[in-house]
Amino acid sequence: MESSVNSPKMRMKSWLHFIYTVAAVLLAASVISVLHLRLDLTEDKRYTLSVPTEEILSELKSDIFIQVFLDGDIPIPLKRLKRSVKEILDEFRIASGHRIDYEFLNPSEGSDVKQRETQYQYLIKKGLMPINIQASDAEGGSTRKIVFPGMIINCNGIEVPVNFLKNNQSLFYEQNILHSVEGLEYELIQTIATITADTVYKVAFIEGHEELNEIETADITLNLAKFFTVDRGVIGGKTGILDNYAAVIIAGPEKEIGEQDKLVLDQYIMNGGKILWLIEEVAVNQDSLVYGSTIGLYRPLNLEDMLFRYGARVNPAVVQDLECFTIRLMVMSGGSRQQVVDAPWVYYPVLMPASDHPITRNLNRVKGEFVNYIDTVGLDGSVSKKVLLHTSDYSRTLSPPLMITLKEAETIPDEQLFNKSKLPVAVLLEGTFISAFINRPVNMLTGDQNFTLKKESRETKMIIVSDADIIRNEVRRTGTEETPLTLGQDKYTGQVFGNRDFLLNCLNWLVDDKGIMELRSRELKLRILNLTRVKNEKLKWQFINTLGPLIIVLMSGLAYNYFRRRKYTRHGL
């Protein structure tokens, strides 16, 4: 008699069971794809979008197209960065209801050298920053290649460049790639939120007190214009004139700020306004250094009482730092021949960003010039204070008046004199501020007898930087033509400092009301293989990775057949 296992009825039952299983799997996959159910099993949740990002993407009303210029024959670390970019773009596309689309392009594609150069110049004019890399060729040698690790985001005809590769020269290559991956979500959503916003925030540069002029702040103005409407103007003692601005910038005034303008700024803060102060209490004429020396003089700005009330004091002292940038000197060589050499210049400190705040996290070091330093004062618990930039562990201060000569660069500094560490140069103040004009008659300043002074602010914030040169770009002058240079980039070495990124982050932090800047706090772990174990245990792991999957499949098949036979044999022959 034929066993029940091989009977037509049992075979039909097995086939039906198989068909039902396949149908259930297909149905479940279809439902999951429709519902966009995704599960992030990584420890640091690297594939999970933040709540602000999901809210912004879900509210998109326009289609966005992104061109990523990171393709072709590139080194393995950049390929990992490319994969991360693709993964997050896929997440953005799903979260936006497929309103976001993208493509990867290779700007070096093609054999026509002239056409490639034209493409390179086009991308540079668009705002993408190229990097030079060493690539292996087919003959075993190496060639230099130009790569554009960036993207152009297009929405309704508006194009905005995004450079997503972090290039901190003080960090290892792998760490820069990791920091680039950490910042991808922020770089993308910050740009998308800006170009799709119904209203654009306005910021203003204050004039009228011999601040840095338009050409000296041209580079930061151009980059701020990607996020804000940027104006310049005189306060003129008119209270309320700044109320329509999300933030104002006071960049290097050289003349005292009068009481009327101070009152305007104070009441702007009391109404929730934000200010980025870039001020110095010591005046140093750098142009005089071409003659070999200059003088640093005390120059009060009449802001001392105001900033003291808010919780900070800019000290009238020039900082020297052993961790500094260089200047070019002409020295005698071989008796009569002159030679240009780079010499450390302790008056140009390379400032260290705080690693635990979204403004300065993963930021390149910032170049300062003749900086002062800041003390935080007061015990007001309603104002929190955070140092954003500071000097190194080997600093000292000099009080004016002081003589500064280029001959100082020719001598080796005495390290024992540099006994101060981590002097604050940029400080963030957040909270509720008390008016600097409390208990003072102000009607005479306003000319309005009905004016009512607001004595306490709403929750607001300000950033004080004790070096105006941080925001000043160099200017190339050819005849009557003036060309602003890139802020934070040395024109001789090409080294890029974090000045521009620092200032952009400061303004974005001051006006951010969606929590987007918090994304810069995201931290991913750098998981590097243990090279010693790789070398010693190479054969073992090759065996596990090659034969392991085959053994698992084979054992699963044998176990399935064993339990199936046992199940149906139990019902009798």
**HEC secondary structure over 396-449:** EEECCCEEEEHHHHHCCCCHHHCCECCCEEEEEEEECCECCCCCCCCHHHHCCC
CB-based burial of residue 280 (10 Å sphere; 0-12 exposed, 13-18 middle, 19+ buried)?
buried
Domain end marker among 144, 168, 194: 194
Same domain, yes or no: 232 and 188: no
Half-sphere exposure of 329 (CA within 13 A, CB side): 17
Give the distance, in angstroms, between the CA of residue 154 and the centroid of all CA atoms in the same chain: 21
Same domain, yes or no: 326 and 178: no
Same domain, yes or no: 322 and 275: yes
- 155-164, 252-261, 335-344, 391-400: least confidently modelled range: 335-344
* pLDDT band, very low/low/confident/very high, at 24 (cuts 50, 70, 90): confident
In a domain, 420, yes or no: yes
Residue 468: which of 316, 280, 288 has the closest Cα?
Answer: 280
* pLDDT band, very low/low/confident/very high, at 333 (cuts 50, 70, 90): low
Domain that holds residue 221: 199-497
Q: At what angle do helices 51-58 and 184-195 cross, to 10 degrees?
A: 40
Q: Is there a contact between 193 and 185 (Cβ–Cβ < 8 Å)?
A: no
**Distance between the two ends of the chain, CA-based, in angstroms?**
8
Please report, for the domain that includes residue 391, its CATH number. Answer: 3.40.50
Q: What is the 3-state secondary structure (H, E, C) of 306-361?
A: HHHHHCEEEECCEEEECCEEEEEEEEEECCCEEEEEEEEEEEEEEEEECCCCCCCC
Q: Is there a contact between 295 and 311 (Cβ–Cβ < 8 Å)?
A: no
What is the rounded distance in angstroms from the CA atom of residue 313 to the CA atom of residue 466? 9
Same domain, yes or no: 3 and 24: yes
pLDDT at site 174: 74
Q: Of all residues in the chain, what percent carry a pLDDT higher than 90?
A: 43
DSSP summary character for residue 215: G
For the record, the structure tokens of 390 come out as 């500071």
pLDDT at site 126: 87
Q: What are phi and psi of 360, to 5 degrees?
A: -115, 0
In a domain, 485, yes or no: yes
What is the rounded distance in angstroms from the CA atom of residue 546 to the CA atom of residue 533? 18
For the record, the structure tokens of 121 come out as 């110049």
Domain end marker among 154, 170, 194: 194
Q: Is there a contact between 74 and 147 (Cβ–Cβ < 8 Å)?
A: yes
Same domain, yes or no: 208 and 157: no
Q: Is there a contact between 287 and 259 (Cβ–Cβ < 8 Å)?
A: no
pLDDT at site 1: 45
Domain end marker among 172, 194, 216: 194
pLDDT at site 32: 64
Same domain, yes or no: 364 and 459: yes
User: For the whole prediction, is pTM greater than 0.75?
Assistant: yes
pLDDT at site 570: 63
Q: Which residues contact 79 (CB under 8 A, 6 or more apart)?
A: none
Tracing tokens 């005495």 back to the chain, one arrives at 414
Q: Does the structure show a pLDDT above 60 at 137?
A: no
Same domain, yes or no: 356 and 470: yes
Examine residue 401 and say whether the peptide bond preceding it is cis (omega within 30 degrees of 0).
Answer: yes
**Residue count (the chain):** 573
Residue 345 identity (one-letter amino acid): W
- Of 5-9, 464-468, 486-490, where does the model show the most confidence? 464-468
In a domain, 43, yes or no: no
Residue 388: which of 355, 362, 420 has the closest Cα?
Answer: 355
What is the rounded distance in angstroms from the CA atom of residue 214 to the CA atom of residue 204? 12
Classify 507 as helix, strand or coil.
helix
Same domain, yes or no: 274 and 140: no
Give the distance, in angstroms, between the CA of residue 493 and the centroid of all CA atoms in the same chain: 22
- 83-92 in b/e form (b: 16+ CB < 10 A) is ebbeebbebb
Q: Does the structure show a pLDDT above 90 at 521?
A: no
Q: Does the structure show a pLDDT above 50 at 185?
A: yes
In a domain, 118, yes or no: yes
- 66-70, 126-130, 341-345, 560-564: least confidently modelled range: 560-564
In a domain, 46, yes or no: no
Q: Does the structure show a pLDDT above 50 at 377?
A: yes
* pLDDT band, very low/low/confident/very high, at 102 (cuts 50, 70, 90): very high
| pLDDT per residue as tens digits for the range 247-262 | 999 999 999 999 999 9
pLDDT at site 507: 95
How does the average pLDDT of the chain come out, rounded? 85
Residue 453: strand pairing partners? none
In a domain, 521, yes or no: no
Please report, for the domain that includes residue 148, its CATH number. Answer: 3.40.30
- 284-288, 506-510, 518-522: least confidently modelled range: 518-522
pLDDT at site 517: 79
What is the rounded distance in angstroms from the CA atom of residue 107 to the CA atom of residue 115? 10
Q: Does the structure show a pLDDT above 80 at 480?
A: yes
Q: Which residues contact 103 (CB under 8 A, 6 or more apart)?
A: 65, 66, 67, 68
Which of the two residues, 56 and 560, has the higher pLDDT score? 56
Q: Does the structure show a pLDDT above 90 at 556?
A: no
For the record, the structure tokens of 466 come out as 């004790």
Measure the CA dihedral 213/217/222/223, to 10°.
-150
In a domain, 504, yes or no: no
Q: Is there a contact between 66 and 150 (Cβ–Cβ < 8 Å)?
A: no
pLDDT at site 446: 79
Please work out, in degrees rounded to the nearest 5, the angle formed at the alpha carbon of residue 84 by the alpha carbons of 364 and 355. 25
Tracing tokens 């200010």 back to the chain, one arrives at 275
Same domain, yes or no: 167 and 220: no
Which of the two residues, 341 and 487, has the higher pLDDT score? 487
> How many domains, the chain?
4
| pLDDT per residue as tens digits for the range 47-66 | 678 888 888 898 888 899 99
Same domain, yes or no: 465 and 480: yes
Q: Does the structure show a pLDDT above 90 at 275?
A: yes
| Sequential DSSP letters for 23-77 | HHHHHHHHHHHHHT------TT-TT---HHHHHHHHT--S-EEEEE---SS--HH
pLDDT at site 7: 65
For the record, the structure tokens of 210 come out as 């011999």
| pLDDT per residue as tens digits for the range 390-431 | 999 999 999 999 999 998 988 888 889 999 999 999 999 999
Q: What are phi and psi of 272, to 5 degrees?
A: 95, 10
In a domain, 526, yes or no: no
For the record, the structure tokens of 321 come out as 């730092």
* pLDDT band, very low/low/confident/very high, at 199 (cuts 50, 70, 90): confident
Same domain, yes or no: 424 and 449: yes
| pLDDT per residue as tens digits for the range 203-232 | 999 999 999 999 999 999 999 998 899 999
What is the rounded distance in angstroms from the CA atom of residue 431 to the CA atom of residue 312? 13
Same domain, yes or no: 217 and 113: no
Q: Is there a contact between 317 and 339 (Cβ–Cβ < 8 Å)?
A: no
Q: Does the structure show a pLDDT above 80 at 436?
A: yes
